[in-house]
Amino acid sequence: MIEQTPASHRDALTLPLIACGAASLIHHVHNAIYLADYPGMPAWITPVFVYAAWLGAASLGIVGYLLRRRGFGLPGLIACAAYACYGLDGLAHYRLAPVSRHTLAMNLTIWLEVGAALALLTAVARTGMREFASRRR
């Protein structure tokens, strides 16, 4: 049975999804262009790999959005949450080198993506809680 997702709950995720996608794109483009300057990056990571990673992750966010638009609320929320968690992975740069070894632009793009991912994850959690509460009534 198709689980209906209220339009207001779908719309509550639209802006955070777009913001997360844009922030992630900015970070990935910066990463690809300045890959050789990012401290501690493994040699096997290439600009093409960086762009492919963004495309794969963005696809997950798009799938989540489309699932929700088509009435598959929970699977859509799970996909959106997974996409948000990918955005938090930008913090892995700091496992390779401390904040001080990254340029201001590197740190800004990393934190822009992380902030947008946290906003999306918050929106997913709020939406999920509202939908769960409305089903219990």
Is a pLDDT exceeding 60 seen at residue 8?
no
Residue-range domain boundaries for the chain = 14-136
Tokens (6 digits) for 66:
């489309």
Q: Which two tokens stand for residue 95?
A: 């496992």
pLDDT, one tens digit per residue, over 90-123 is 999 999 999 999 999 999 999 999 999 999 999 9
The residue behind tokens 């300057």 is 37
**112: its two tokens:** 């822009």
Q: Is the pTM for the entire model greater than 0.85?
A: yes
